[in-house]
Amino acid sequence: MHAPNGRLVELKAHRAAWSGAHPENSLAALRECYAARVARVEIDFRLQGGEFVVAHDRPRKGRRVPRLREALDIVRSSPPGPTQLMLDAKDEAPWSRHDVETLARLCDDVRDRIFLGSPADWNLRRLCKVDGDLAIAFDPQYYLTWDRRVHAVPGRHGAYGYQDAHPLALRRTRSTADYLRERFEMLLGAVIRIREVHLRLGFFERMLQDDFDVAAFAHEAGVQVDVWTLDAGSRGWKTHLARAVAGGADIVTTNTPRELAMASAASGH
């Protein structure tokens, strides 16, 4: 889809959702995305029993979940195309050196076709030390976010209205936009070679309301902005989509990529 100024905005299939005919984070769903030549796809993964598996939550005992190597085999066996696969790491516990080296080996021959991302910057830094050529995406939600319903950083209510425990957020000493600009300068430096920053949609919109153009700031640093998660049929979704596009988002993560694409086409974008 395109912004009114012609700028390309890509849709990312959250948990490999495309047609809805297959379970989320499944190998069948991932194969379908590659067959459909979807531009952006995301799957979740985590360390379980010493092996990386495709799963958002810790798998229940006895439940079979795909191995990450099986998902990457689909990437290897698919002909070259437009699809970029985002591997979203759900581990908060630090990865060992062995774990990081194992992950780097798994990704070695598909590095040009994948991104690896996480809110756990400590694991991303460990990965970069082992393989500095992997494309990295970072979600700052453990440090700074905004959500009226949940507190991603429990008990941390900054003076500017965001969930933030940094000393700069303890009391108001400047404009909210200046505070956010300084905080994002820190956060974008948390991991070297960040290619994307992932932001909750409500957080992104709140920063725009507070006169901080986070997308322009990220673009100046050579970083793309991915906002998540926006689904067709949700309350006010067309308005939220228009705001995200107008606000400079480069990627919109969604469980309904086909519906958003059709809506965009119908509106002339």
pLDDT at 60: 79
Query: What are the DSSP calls for 91-102, one per residue?
Result: --SPPPHHHHHH
Environment class of residue 216 by beta-carbon count within 10 Å: exposed (0-12), middle (13-18) or buried (19+)?
exposed
Residue 99 and residue 127 in contact, taking contact as beta carbons nearer than 8 Å: no
Q: Which domains does the chain have, with CATH numbers?
A: 10-266 (3.20.20.190)
Question: What pLDDT score does 153 carry?
Answer: 64
pLDDT of residue 1: 72
Angle at the Cα of 115 from the Cα atoms of 20 and 258, rounded to 5 degrees: 25
pLDDT value for 89: 98
How far is the C-alpha of 77 from the C-alpha of 80, rounded, in Å? 9
pTM of the model: 0.94
Run of H or E residues at 186: helix 176-187
The pLDDT, as a whole number, for residue 192 is: 84
Whether the CB-CB separation of 245 and 267 falls below 8 Å is answered with no
Beta-carbon neighbour count of residue 133 at 10 Å? Answer: 11
Mean pLDDT of each 10-residue bin along the chain, 269 residues long: 79 96 97 96 96 92 89 96 97 97 97 96 96 96 84 74 93 97 96 94 97 98 97 96 96 96 71
Contacts of 66 (CB under 8 A, 6+ apart): 25, 26, 27, 53, 54
